[in-house]
Structure 1
Amino acid sequence: MKLYTKTGDGGQTGLYGADRVSKGHPRVEAYGTVDELNSLLGLARAHNTRSHKPDADLDADLEHLQNALFDLGADLATRNDSPYSKNIARMDEQDVTHLETLIDRYQDGVPPLTQFIHPGGTPAAATLQVARSVARRAERDVIRLMEHEAVNLQAQVYLNRVSDLLFIMARAANARAGIHEAEWHVKKRR
């Protein structure tokens, strides 16, 4: 089978269930941003595993999250009323609760946050901060999609927690590497 199909050459793509929509459709934007996020997690994992002291827990949790993002992409690529809907795993409250458990676990290992910090630190942490901002964009894309058609409500909640998780994972990666986080210094009024 060839990688290229030529079916998208006219600016259309297929949702799961054979619906054809514009590649600019809000649903395609939403799952496309989730795909971008997943790629950034792969980059963060690559930085982590190539560091002088790879973090096995972080890598395992990011791999789990990458798998979940494929599920989320399928969720977003399938209309709620599609007959194919029964073939996919929709994001649910258990998925959100799992992320909250991870957030709590990572938060236990970082110093308290007293003010905004600059994204950066280790290459893995900096990449996780970029991924965090893409997760926020994915959430906004899902919200825009929800303004036009029915979407699994847990998809938006899940992305909200993903951004929180990536933020605290970035902080933990820096803390575990002994990297001090640079704090935002508010400009003085003149």
Structure 2
Amino acid sequence: MKKFWLAALLALVAFGFGYAADTLPVEPPITDEPPVGGGPLPPVYGTSANVVIGGTLAEVFSLKVPDTYKNDIKNGSTAETWNIGDVVVNSNVKNWSISLESAHSGNLVLPGDLVVQPEYIPYTVTLGSLASNVSLSTKWTSGMLGRTAKTGNFYALSIMFGPSNDFYEAGTYSDTITVTITHG
């Protein structure tokens, strides 16, 4: 009888361990391939593994220019400086530039006289520390610039003209300066 119980106990132990081994969780194989149907990779089991983390930051790239500026023109006796206002650039990208371009090649022009003999007042422009008294007879472009502070970079825009030996023709003179920012 002792042999029967001993044999039964051994059979029970052997059968029980075999059954228990079949019910343990099976670890998935280690793979870098996504599961069928997409989605995140399954967890990786082992003694060492990498977790890849990342995120995307939206680009900030904006420009604010002063409103239309109007002032009286003195009659050319002394040099005049008009402080137009601040050009503000916000950028979280590197390698951007700013350019200035004049509709009338760096001249305040008296409208209505463009065909016969244009009346104009040539000027130079200053843009903060980037440009100082440069002519806009052709487009001016800064060198490459870096990211700005969150409040933006402020560049004071001003023009300077005169003096003149002659009187300026009476009337309203104007020009349009196009300010452009680009990055690449």
For Structure 1 versus Structure 2, the TM-score category normalised by the shorter chain is: under 0.3
Q: What is the TM-score normalised by the length of structure 1?
A: 0.22
Greater share of strand: 2
Q: What is the TM-score normalised by the length of structure 2?
A: 0.23
